[in-house]
Chains A and B, each alone.
Chain A
């Protein structure tokens, strides 16, 4: 085998690997859609059953913080896409900058979420024996709020772990991690998309 045909074979193999990685990650995301999907369907059922409690519950949310957090995630997705492009261009420094921006925005998002959670705990709006609101349907709304945004925040934490891993992989010596950046990028964008639906369901009703 000549060296040029060997390199052609190897680049064909890499392209094939890239397609396989991508399809595999989309399958994983499909399972994630269903993971969150069950909760979204539960939300629809309860909102249909208790529309007034859901409007009252949404009015307890900090609308400004929710809107800010949506913007934070959208900008973080932009930097992830920019980083993906930098990785494919082999631009290690630009990739590092982008990943640091994504990680910072991810931490800002979780920080704002923590402020919101704290005020709910302080106001005794966490379902349980100390619940200060009207018992019943409002508690169902708050349970769904904590379950869905909590599961989303957990995904953000995993995402931040993956971004840290990419920063470590990108730190000199080894080739630019093109495929890992693409895979983590798809996951990060997916988590962003989940929040995009949580925002109108928890912050907008009754306003």
Chain B
């Protein structure tokens, strides 16, 4: 079990981030809370990708392939939302 201490630490970090996200509901509703929830989700994604999906060890081309999905998603989101989120403001 000693050899898996690093993975246990990663799990503890992930559960702490989840607790932080859940605890945000104790505060009164506010617009910034969605952004905070998504920021915490991004952190969890980074931790899982680096340690569980082993991108920390697999550098170079593997990381390029992993980033490609997020890049295309970013392109999709930016191009679609630049239309929808600006409608009615251009007149």
Contact = CB atoms under 8 A, between A and B. Distances in A.
A16 B69 CA distance: 23
Interface residues of chain B: helix, strand, loop or mixed (majority): helix
A200 B41 contact: yes
B84 A27 contact: no
Contacts of B65: 23, 26-27, 30
A170 to B, nearest CB: 19
B43 to A, nearest CB: 10
B77 A63 contact: no
Interface in B33-91: 33-34, 37-38, 40-41, 44-45, 48-49, 51-54, 58, 61-62, 65-66, 68-70, 72-73, 76-77, 80-81, 84-85
Contact of B72 (A33, A192, A200, A206): A33
Interface range on chain A: under 10, 10 to 19, 20 to 34, or 35 or more? 35 or more
A77 B14 CA distance: 10
Interface string A102-133: 00000000000000000000000000000000
Nearest to A51: B31
B29 A206 contact: yes
Nearest to B11: A78
Given A44-B77, A48-B85, A78-B7, A30 B68 contact: yes
B13 to A, nearest CB: 10
Interface of B: 3-4, 7-8, 10-11, 14-15, 18, 21-22, 24-25, 29, 33-34, 37-38, 40-41, 44-45, 48-49, 51-54, 58, 61-62, 65-66, 68-70, 72-73, 76-77, 80-81, 84-85
